[in-house]
Amino acid sequence: MEATSRALAALPPEALYRRADTTDWAFQTTDELEDLAEVIGQARATEAIRFGVGMDGDGYNLYVLSPPGTGGHAVVRELLQERARHEPVPSDWCYVNNFEHPHRPRVLRLPAGLGTKLRDDMRELITDLEGAIRAAFESDEYRARRHELEQSMKERHEQAFGELGRRAAEQSIILMRTPTGMAFAPTRDGEVMTPGEFEKLPAEEQQRITDAIGGLQEELRRILEQIPQWQREAQQRIRALDREVVHAAVRHQIAAIKQKYSALPAVLEYLDAVEASVIEHADDFRVEDGAEWRPFGFVASAREALRRRYGVNVLIDNGSTEGAPIVYADNPTYPELIGRIEHLAQMGALVTDFMLIKPGALHRANGGYLVIDARRVLMQPYAWEGLKRCLASNEIRVESLGQMLSLISTVSLEPEPIPLDVKVVLVGERLLYYLLYNLDPDFRELFKVAADFEEDMDRSPETQRLYARLVATLVRRHRLRPFDRDAVARVLEHGARLAGDAEKLSIRTQEIADLLREADYWAREEGCDTVARGHVQRAIAARLRRSDRVRTRIQEEIRRGTLLIDTAGRRLGQVNGLSVVRLGDAEFGYPTRISARVRLGKGEVIDIQREVDLGGPIHSKGVLILAGFFGARYLPDRPLALAATLVFEQTYGPVDGDSASCAELCALVSALADVPLRQDLAITGSVNQYGEVQAIGGVNEKIEGFFDTCNARGLTGEQGVIIPAANVKHLMLREDVVAACSEGRFAVYPVTNVDEAFELLTGLPAGTRGDDGQFPADSVNGRVEEKLRRLAEQAHEFARGEERARS
Amino acid sequence: MSGRAQPAIRRILVALDASTGSVGALRAAAAVAAAASAELAALYVEDVNLLHLAALPFASEVDPISGRARPLQREGMERLLRAQGLRAQQAFVQATAHLRASCSFRVTRGRIVPALLQAALEADLVALGAIGSVSAARGGLGSIARAVIAETERPVLILPHGAALRPPIAVVVDAASGAGDALAFGAHLGGYFPSSELVVLLIAAGPKQAQALRDAAEAVLAGTEARYRAVDAADVDTLGRALRAERVGTLVLSRTSPSLSVESLGELLGRTNVAVLLV
């Protein structure tokens, strides 16, 4: 059977770069275009966000999957503002003292704006009470009543001791104070009887005196026993008097403030507690200012201490808020989200009270929306756990990290939790969403709505018109010079290149805006009022130039022969593969020599890259597919007696991806068929076990990479790149590449299967099996099969020889 | 009354028994001694009555805290009195450490009041606590203080518990007593505290009498600046209110004044916290 080679045509220039169709664009500059009313190309995401923010119920928080530059944050802000402005203003939240348990401050919920009013009213009340209580205690009436009580206590003492003294005196005995107590002594002529005098008394008299003193001592003991009770009674009566006086002084003042807050039962309850506390601690209102007072460890002037004790810590004041709040947590640390309890250093110790409770972003967003960058919140220790706990329990419990982790067991505040009603919008990358979804069971419960932002959109006449309006919108938003029609077209074409697809347009508005700003810069540099296509082109080139140091160095080394790349002639078992590299925002391709050697073996294809752990898993997969392809296509009824080695020459780092599998196959085939391959062509594409060539990524960069290498050495007109036909739609090549192809100095060949690649690279027909089941002998496939057959026979012979030697 | 006799204080007797009042009296006396360059003599009397009591066969004392009786013995009482004397001496040494005037501390054994009265004969001023450690107190004045006030003719400075010789100085002037000496003493004490104004409490039935008393007082004070306050009665309540209103620290009274009996004085001392100088 005779093999025939097919003539594979290079792609026409129009297939290499799809220009924007501007025929139905009626405008001259972007000034004539209207702003976009809404985000383009993100219908799915905006629908999801609208649903998420409108949906009530636990766990209906949002995760916005927004790849960098797609403007997720801006869209979320816009949609939230649109909704929040029509929603009710949430309540004010205040912390006040819990007089019974000061370490558990109470929370008060008040209608918006009333928090600060209550705080001011309380300040005024305490000032008034200070005056009123001091005045009450300084009044003559109070002094008289208190004196009466104290006097009655004294009189009771004196009466008891006086009576005792009189009874003693009646028996010629006196009550004396000794240095350590009290004693009775018999007297004679007003002086204590000496022992001699006492001994001279008749025995009966001595006994009488002894008995009398014993009785008096017993009486004294009873009096002494009663004294503490009398003191208690007196103190109680004085306290009752104080309470009565204070109550009279404060009752009217507190009644007045209660009247103002009569519709708020929680405030009334608090004011009752204030009243009881003021009455209980009335003495504190009498302390002269400047004296020290220590509630819960504080050292403060008496006045300041009172202000604190009866103060109102307005945690959230929504008095001037319009609509529901939208809070952006820029620094979502644990305390910034949940709130914190601050401390004051006093006398070497850290002390705190309810006035030092500070709000977090959740407090500020309560009743509205909280937007958080997912990566940032995940990077802050315990912030994610804290956020989830609040969302799961629907309340904000302010506690320090030490408390949360049970690291600190010293007494601290445990403020009453605040009910939480917030919609959290996490904005982050897709990867984070999928990781969280799979690894964090709470996540799917708490973030039920995902809004997935697209990075590109379909390219059609309609979307191209919208794209032009997007450019106009961005131009005005960033206050740039107007762009003319051709400039807009170039931006659009660059959008397709950014999308890596001639049929798509990138909607990473961040990148587009950057390009517009840079084009505007070049227009300004040239003194133009309008940005033209040339300015856009210059901005693109300048950007490329800024980031192409590595690309230039690689191409330089190829040109100088340090990196061995042939761009002319034919070589056996050697082919130009294409690699693509992304460094920062630069992405470029360059050729890499791939070589293959074969010998007798056991059917293995050794990928040297993989053997030294420089090959990634996808690369290894591509190589293993080659073995499958060989096994299925050639000598399916015999074992492969082949040992092949494949290597990416002069690569010193990891290689991954299967885009070189087609090139590797060609190198292997060349080595087996003993047919040299053209070196003026480079090839990219992955291959499956059936020999079909499949699409790969970075096709534009790869073609440009080989073009640059050839161009540096001078284009011969024979050079070109073989690409998968499935990648043709992705072509948006550089102007110079397109120009060279138009002039026939360079070519891009699309292939659908490896046979087409064999023919292009070898110039020989690939060959198909004839009716006899054999490939034509002079075809590439025929040569390969013949070689494999010979190897198989050699292997068989070799095996028999070994057997004979053993037997 | 006209003109002002400068009181001569050359020797001060302090009755010291280590009670808080007596230590207050010691400090006040030291202050006067320093200002007047007077000699300070402290006397601690070991009460012979206590020693007699302790020697009696049935002697026992009742603990004021627990109410329990415990036996007393002479040796124990001797020890207690020595310890008390030692504390008194320590207080004396401390109070007079920086005093340039001549100072002496003496311990004697005997009956307290006669011993004090005997020692007072050589003094120009007697200072003692309102309630001592041996007193049987009635009101704010103990039995020793009452006896000394009653029986000595010397000016007596009485310090209740917690009081000190401090300004403002107030002098009670009434029509009956002709309080020249009190005013002279008051002005003298006031001189120790130049930044504080002397307060003269005029016990007068009406404005006319008050004015007359004021005129007389001004004549005695001879240019010393004073603030005058008329009160219509010298009872404990009225006087107490006036003392509080003026925030008086030290009150000077004439012992010949009929305004205040010893009983009333005791009551006044029980209610207020002022040092009282009886002249």
Scanning every residue of chain A, which has its alpha carbon at the shortest distance from the alpha carbon of B60? A183
Catalytic residue among A423, A702, A779, A787: A702
Residues from A in contact with B at Cβ < 8 Å: 140, 147, 154, 158, 161-162, 165, 174-183, 185-186, 191-195, 198, 209-210, 213-214, 217, 220-222, 224-225
CA distance A471 to A20: 14
Confidence at A731, pLDDT banded by 50, 70, 90: very high
pLDDT, tens digit, 9 for 90 and up, residues A13-30: 999 999 998 888 899 999
> Which tokens in the block code for residue A677?
């391959």
- Which residue in chain B is spatially nearest to A154 when comparing CA positions? B139
Encoded tokens for A241? 């008097």
Residue ranges with strand state E in A355-400: 357-358, 369-373, 395-396
pLDDT at B135 over 50: no
Please determine, for residue A65, whether its predicted confidence score (pLDDT) is greater than 70.
Answer: yes
User: What is the reported pLDDT for A224?
Assistant: 86
Q: Which of B62, B77, B81 lies nearest to residue A224, judging by beta carbons?
A: B62
The top-scoring range by mean pLDDT among A603-607, B58-62, B259-263 is B58-62
Q: Which of A432-441, A599-608, A779-788 has the lowest mean pLDDT?
A: A599-608
**pLDDT value for A682:** 97
Task: Report the mean per-residue pLDDT for chain B.
Answer: 84
Portion of chain A with pLDDT greater than 70, in percent:
97
Nearest C-alpha in A relative to B78? A179
Q: Is the pLDDT score of A392 beyond 80?
A: yes
Q: In this structure, are residues A110 and A264 in contact, taking their beta carbons and an 8 Å threshold?
A: yes
Residue B248, SS3 per DSSP: coil
- Of A602-616, A700-714, B96-110, B130-144, the poorest mean pLDDT is in B130-144
Question: Using 50, 70 and 90 to split pLDDT, how confident is the model at A2?
Answer: very low
Position B1 pLDDT exceeds 50:
no
The first and second tokens of residue A601, run together, are: 């073996």
Integer-rounded Cα radius of gyration of chain B: 20
Residue type for position A680: D
Min Cα separation A134/chain B (Å): 15
Q: How far is CA A87 from CA A90, A128, A368, A464, A762, in A?
A: 9, 40, 8, 37, 72
Return the beta strands (E) in A201-311 as ranges: 292-293, 300-301
Q: What is the pLDDT of residue A286?
A: 78
Question: Tokens 């001791």 — which residue?
Answer: A161
Is A787 annotated as catalytic?
no
Annotated active-site residue A621? The verdict is no
pLDDT at A576 (0 to 100): 97
Residue B2 has pLDDT above 80, yes or no: no
| C-alpha Rg value of chain A to the nearest Å | 47
Instruction: Report the C-alpha gap between B229 and B173 in whole angstroms.
Output: 10
Separation in Å, CA of A304 to nearest CA in chain B: 27
Q: What is the pLDDT of residue B179?
A: 64
Measured in whole angstroms, how far is the alpha carbon of residue A636 from the centre of its chain?
56
Structure tokens at A105: 């401050």
**ipTM attached to this prediction:** 0.83
Indicate the SS3 state at residue A65: strand
Is the predicted pLDDT of residue A608 greater than 90, yes or no? no
Class of residue A241 by CB neighbours under 10 A (exposed 0-12, middle 13-18, buried 19+): middle
pLDDT at B22: 87
Interface test with A, best of B22, B48, B62, B113 (most A CBs within 10 A): B62
Q: Which of A659, A661, A686, A779 is catalytic?
A: A659
Residues in Cβ contact with A540 at an 8 Å cutoff, skipping those fewer than 6 apart = A490, A494, A515
Q: State the pLDDT at residue A449.
A: 95
With a cut of 90, say whether residue A494 has pLDDT above it: yes
Residue B130: predicted pLDDT: 84
**In terms of Cα–Cα distance, which of A518, A633, A534, A521 is closest to A585?**
A518
pLDDT at B139: 61
CB of B77 within 8 Å of a chain A CB? The answer is yes
- Lookup: tokens for A156: 């009771």
A604-607 and A642-648 beta bridge pairing: parallel
Chain B CB contacts of A166 below 8 Å: none
Nearest CA-CA distance, residue B94 and chain A, Å: 22
* Span A292-338, pLDDT tens digits: 445 544 445 677 888 889 999 999 999 999 999 999 999 999 999 99
Question: Cβ of A195 and B83 within 8 Å?
Answer: no
Q: From the CA of A218, how many Å to the nearest CA of chain B?
A: 9
Q: Per residue in B163-197, pLDDT tens?
A: 888 888 899 888 776 667 888 888 888 888 877 78
**More confident: A727 or A298:** A727
Q: Residue A639: its pLDDT value, please?
A: 82
Q: Which residue of A has its CA nearest to B17?
A: A179
Please name the amino acid found at residue A36: L
pLDDT at B243: 86
Provide the token pair at A186.
Answer: 């018999």
pLDDT at B6: 62
Between these two residues, A631 and A271, which has the higher pLDDT value?
Answer: A271
B3 at the A interface (CB within 8 A)? no
Mutate to test the interface with B, among A178, A208, A217 (most CBs of B within 10 A): A178
pLDDT surpassing 80 at residue A4: no
- How many percent of chain A have pLDDT more than 90? 59
Provide the pLDDT for residue A481: 96
Q: Which of these ranges, A109-123, A290-304, B249-263, has the smallest mean pLDDT? A: A290-304
Q: A649 exposed, middle or buried (CB, 10 Å; 0-12, 13-18, 19+)?
A: middle
pLDDT at residue number B136:
52
pLDDT at A712 over 80: yes
Q: Across the strands, what pairs with A452?
A: A65
**3-state SS assignment for residue B233:** coil
Residue in B61, B237, B269 to test binding to A, most A beta-carbons within 10 Å: B61
pLDDT band at A291 (very low <50, low <70, confident <90, very high): very low
The pLDDT assigned to A1 comes to: 46
Question: Which of A162, A183, A194 shows the shortest C-beta gap to B60?
Answer: A183
Model pTM? Answer: 0.69
Assess contact for A703 and A605: CB atoms under 8 A. no
A:B CB pairs within 8 Å: 92
Give how far A92 is from chain B: nearest CA, Å: 48
At residue A730, does pLDDT exceed 80? yes
CB contact under 8 A, A180 and B133: no
* CB environment A516-550: b (16+ within 10 A), e (fewer): bebbbbbbeeeeeeebbbbbbbbbbeebeeeebee
* Euclidean distance between the first and the last CA atom of chain B, given in angstroms as a whole number: 16
Smallest CA–CA distance from A183 into chain B, residue: B61
The distance from CA B109 to its chain's CA centroid, rounded to whole angstroms, is 23
Interface check B134 vs A, CB under 8 A: yes
Residue contact A221–B69, C-beta within 8 A: yes
CB A302 within 8 A of CB A284: yes
Nearest Cβ partner of A195 from B49, B52, B62?
B52
Token code pair at residue B215: 């005129």
Residue A368 has pLDDT above 60, yes or no: yes
Half-sphere exposure of A220 toward its Cβ, with a 13 Å CA cutoff? 28
At A497 the pLDDT is 93
pLDDT of residue A284: 85
* Per-residue tokens: A239: 């306290």
Mean pLDDT of chain A: 90
How many angstroms away from the CA of B120 is the closest CA of chain A? 21
Enclosing H/E stretch for A313: strand A312-316
Angle formed at CA A402 by CA A400 and CA A405, multiple of 5 degrees: 110
